[in-house]
């Protein structure tokens, strides 16, 4: 299996990737926000994605987005082809896209929203911590990206304070806040909160 930073040579996979994102969201009934072919193609062409392949077949994909003028980076759209699941591809892809984010944006906080326990475990291993939504970017364009998610109505009813996704955040050690080292938020959940997060 090859795991590479994307380039235009990987555009041949974009239709399959978009379709699997859609199909996966439908099967799970939870959100992977739908992205257009044009949007995904731009990410791939600009080297802002990671592609896994094997013998010419697409295996998995994830891309990076920047928000709040580069203060935040999201690793988004992680998807693995059903044929190649249960082989550790998701972990390898997440590790690669995380390193790509750190290399391109060393001073940015890296965050993710997910309903998947496997992704939460991978994020935790990379140093992410669960946080409340107010710790994430407040960039309107980011939240507008949730409009294509099946859970968008829930998000808006909750006034963007929470939803079915768990928010996770990685803060680089060199980040400071008002001249003081920024401490990675440490959120402790009571049993009721843990129950909500596991839905």
Dump pLDDT digits (tens) for 99-157: 999 999 999 999 998 888 888 999 999 999 999 999 999 999 899 888 878 888 999 99
d(CA 148, CA 77): 13
Categorize the per-residue pLDDT at 174 as very low, low, confident or very high, splitting at 50, 70 and 90.
low
- Among 170, 164, 197, which residue's Cα sits nearest to residue 73? 170
pLDDT value at residue 115: 84
Which has the higher per-residue pLDDT, 65 or 191? 65
d(CA 155, CA 103): 32
Burial letters for 59-83: b for 16+ Cβ neighbours within 10 Å, e otherwise? Answer: bbbbbbbbbeeeebbbbbbbbbbee
pLDDT value at residue 153: 92
| pLDDT over 70 percentage in the chain | 84
pLDDT at 198 over 70: no
Q: What is the mean pLDDT of residues 33-62?
A: 93
Record the tokens describing residue 158, joined without a space.
């909750």
Examine residue 169 and state whether it is found in any structural domain, yes or no. yes
CATH number at residue 150: 3.40.630.30
Examine residue 197 and state whether it is found in any structural domain, yes or no. no
Bridge partners for 50 per DSSP: 5, 62
Examine residue 75 and state whether it is found in any structural domain, yes or no. yes
Examine residue 83 and state whether it is found in any structural domain, yes or no. yes
Examine residue 184 and state whether it is found in any structural domain, yes or no. no
Record the tokens describing residue 96, joined without a space.
């690669």
pLDDT at 183 over 60: no
pLDDT at 76 over 80: yes
Residue written as tokens 């294509």? 148
DSSP letter, residue 183 = P
Examine residue 187 and state whether it is found in any structural domain, yes or no. no
Domain extent at residue 110 = 2-177
List, in order, residues 6 or more apart from 80 with CB less than 8 Å away: 52, 59, 60, 89, 90, 93
Mean pLDDT estimate for the chain: 85
Bridge partners for 180 per DSSP: 177
Residue written as tokens 């596991």? 198
pLDDT at 188 over 50: no
pLDDT at 91 over 60: yes
Record the tokens describing residue 117, joined without a space.
């326990």
Examine residue 193 and state whether it is found in any structural domain, yes or no. no
Examine residue 146 and state whether it is found in any structural domain, yes or no. yes
Q: What is the mean pLDDT of residues 41-60?
A: 96
Which has the higher per-residue pLDDT, 186 or 85? 85
Q: How many domains are there within the chain?
A: 1
Residue written as tokens 């049993």? 191
């Amino acid at each position: 299996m090859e795991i590479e930073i994307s380039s235009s040579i990987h555009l041949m996979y974009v239709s399959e990737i978009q379709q699997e994102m859609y199909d996966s969201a439908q099967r799970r009934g939870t959100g992977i926000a739908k992205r257009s072919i044009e949007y995904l193609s731009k990410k791939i062409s600009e080297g802002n994605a990671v592609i896994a392949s094997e013998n010419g077949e697409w295996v998995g994909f994830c891309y990076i987005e920047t928000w709040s003028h580069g203060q935040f980076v999201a690793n988004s759209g992680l998807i693995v082809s059903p044929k190649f699941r249960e082989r550790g591809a998701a972990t390898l892809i997440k590790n690669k896209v995380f390193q790509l984010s750190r290399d391109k944006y060393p001073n940015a906080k890296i965050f993710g929203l997910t309903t998947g326990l496997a992704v939460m475990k991978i994020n935790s291993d990379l140093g992410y911590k669960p946080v409340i939504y107010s710790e994430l970017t407040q960039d309107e364009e980011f939240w507008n990206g949730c409009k294509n998610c099946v859970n968008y109505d829930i998000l808006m009813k909750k006034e963007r304070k929470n939803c079915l996704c768990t928010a996770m955040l990685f803060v680089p050690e060199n980040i400071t806040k008002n001249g003081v080292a920024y401490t990675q938020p440490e959120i402790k959940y009571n049993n009721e909160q843990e129950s909500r997060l596991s839905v």
